[in-house]
A and B are shown apart, each in its own frame.
Chain A
C-alpha cells in the first residue's frame, strides 16, 4: 500500500519541529502560560475553529468526482466538528472573556492562515484542505494533551473548566489522525500530494506565527 503519510511527515518535518521548538510553544507546553496569554490564544483559536468547517465545505464543493472518498471524508468531518467553536466560547467564558470580545477581530496571522486555506481550497487544489486538517490534528493529538494539562495545573483550573476544547480534542483528534492517515494514503495524484505538502508547510508556519505573537 502506498504510504504518502510518512512521505508527508518527512517532507514537512522541519515545519513541525519549528512549531514544536518555538520558544513560546516550548515554554507553554513545559511551563504553561499566563492567563492573559491563554485568553489571547483561545480568542485566536476561536476564529480558526469557526472557519474550519466553511473551508472544508469549500473544498468539498470544488473537489473533482474522482476524489469522492475525500469528499465523503470531509462531509463526515464537518459533521463531527460542527459546533466545536462553542466549546472555545465556553472555555473563554470560564476564564472571563465575553463572546463580544472574542468575535471582535482576529489577528493578521489568523487572517493569513484562514485566508490561505480558503484560497488554496478554491484556487490551488481542493485536496490542500487535507494539509490544514493534518496540521490542526497533529497539534491537537500530539501537543494538545500536554499543553492542556500544563495550563490546568499552572492556572489552577478545575476539571475541564477553561480547557475543554483543548483536552477533548487531544483524545478526539488521535482518532481523527488515524482516519486522516488512511485518507492521505489513498491519494495517488502527484498534484494533490504536492498541494497537501505545501498546505502543511504554510499551515505550520502560520500557526507558529499565531503562537509566537500572543
Chain B
C-alpha cells in the first residue's frame, strides 16, 4: 500500500490541465507550477481556474506540499497580467458583474499566496521575462521573488486610464513603501530587475540563465528552518497586514473605473492586447513591453508636440 503522501500527490498531479504543468520534487516536498497560457500568456479565466484548482488541492492536503514554486514556460514572458481582450469584451458588454468576478478571482489567487504560510507552504517565484500589470501583482505576495536580470516589469494600466486593481497598492506599499507605489502605479513606467531590486520589490536578481539554480538555492536555504520562517512570515502579516476586504474594495473601485473607460482607452487596450498576442507568434520577439515603450514615446514626443502620431490617431 502506498503511504498517504504519495497517494495525495499522485491525485494532485494527475488532473488534466491545459495552461499549467506540474512538477513534483519529493526531496523538498516542492510543487512547481509552470504556466503556458495559449495563445497569450496572461491570466485568462481558464488559466486562473486551473491555478485555483491546484491551490485548492494543496489546501485540502495540508502538510503534503512544503514549497510552492511558480515559473513560466513561455520564453521571454512571465505573465502579461489581466486578459485585456476579455476586459474589452466585458466593458463593451457593460458587464459590471463579470468584471468584478474576474477581479475577485484574481484576488482569491493572491490571497492564497498571502496566507500560504498559515498552511505550511513557502512560496517562490522566478520571473524570466516581461511581467506587466496583473502579472507583476501576482508575484508580489510570494515569499521569495527572484528575477533574471533581463526581466522587465511595470504597471502600464494608467496609460489607458485604468489602474492595477488586484493588490498592486497593498503589496507595493508593504514591500517598498508609499512613495515607490505612488511612482510605479501613477507613472505607468517599466522597470528593470535591478531597479525593482533596489526598491526591495524583488528579493534576488540573478544573471540570465541562473534562475533555476536560484530557485533551488532559495528552497534549500529556507528548508532547514522552514517552520521558523513560516511562523515569522505569519507574524509579518500581523505586523504589516494586507486585508482581504481592502483587496476586494479596490477590485470594486477598479470595476467601476473600468466601465468608465472611453472608446479611445479601449482602443489602446486593444492595441496592447494585440501586442501581447504578437509576442506569442513564431519568430516574433516584440510584444507588449515594446508597444508600451512606443506609446510612451508617442505621448512624450509625438502627441504633445504635433498631435499627428499613431497615438493621436487612435
Contact = CB atoms under 8 A, between A and B. Distances in A.
The judgment on whether A and B are partners is yes
A211 to B, nearest CB: 15
Interface stretch (B22-30, B82-90, B155-163, B296-304): B82-90
Contacts of B46: 10, 13-14
B97 A3 contact: yes
B2 to A, nearest CB: 35
A20 B93 contact: no
Contact of B97 (A1, A14, A20): A1
Given A3-B97, A6-B102, A26 B85 contact: no
A3 B277 contact: no
Contacts of B277: 17, 20-21, 26
Contacts of B102: 6
Nearest to B271: A146
Interface size of A as a range? 20 to 34
A6 B39 contact: no
Contacts of A6: 45, 95, 97-98, 101-102
A9 B270 CA distance: 18
A177 B91 CA distance: 10
B16 to A, nearest CB: 14
Contacts of B45: 6, 9-10, 13
Contact of B92 (A10, A20, A142): A142
Nearest to B267: A146
B98 A9 contact: yes
A24 to B, nearest CB: 13
A173 to B, nearest CB: 8
B49 interface: yes
Contacts of A73: none
Size band of the interface chain B makes with A: 20 to 34
B93 A174 contact: yes
Given A10-B49, A18-B39, A21-B280, A26 B274 contact: yes
Give the residue among B18, B86, B280 with the most A Cβ atoms within 10 A.
B86
Interface in B122-142: none
A178 interface: yes
Contact of B85 (A3, A14, A23, A142): A142
A177 B27 CA distance: 52
B38 A14 contact: yes
Interface in B236-287: 263, 267, 270, 274, 277-278, 280-281
B291 to A, nearest CB: 11
A181 interface: yes
A74 B289 CA distance: 44
The 4 residue pairs across chains A and B that have the minimum distance between CB atoms: A10-B45, A6-B98, A21-B39, A177-B93
